[in-house]
Structure 1
Amino acid sequence: MSVLKVIEVLSSSPTSWEDAAQKAVEKASKSVKHIRSVYVQDQSAQVTNGSITEYRVNLKLTFEIE
């Protein structure tokens, strides 16, 4: 039987929401082992002078506890 835990992670990227999510998983995986899934809870963007300058995601990461 496995036990899973969920943590909330925030990330951003100047490129895209997908890139922000990928960066969050890559960074979290350096200290959190056995990541099973990611749920994108929220997406937002910062706008400067009529253009998007930063994509932001709020993720829930699920991982197995050893």
Structure 2
Amino acid sequence: MAVASVSKITAASSQSFDAAVREGLQRANATLRGITGLHVLEMKASVQNGQISEYRVTMEVTFVLEG
């Protein structure tokens, strides 16, 4: 029987929401083993001079615990 854990992370990108998700997953992969999925909880953007300057996502990353 597998047991999983969920870690909530926030990531940002100046390109797009998709790029922010990919950046967050890439960073999580550097620290966590056994990632099986993610769930985007929230998407926000910073605006400067009427333009989006940064895309931010908050997501939960699910990974299987070892042992």
TM norm. shorter chain > 0.5? yes
Q: C-alpha distance in 1, partners of 2:50/2:36?
A: 38
User: TM-score scaled by structure 2?
Assistant: 0.97
Alignment of 1:49 onto 2:41 = no
Letter in 2 for 1:24: G
Higher helix share: 2
Runs of 4+ in 1 over 2 A off after TM superposition: none
CA RMSD for the aligned pairs? 0.4
Aligned length: 66
Alignment of 1:15 onto 2:15 = yes
- Residue aligning to 2:38: 38
User: TM-score scaled by structure 1?
Assistant: 0.98
Q: Which runs of 5+ in 2 are unaligned?
A: none
Q: Which runs of 5+ in 1 are unaligned?
A: none
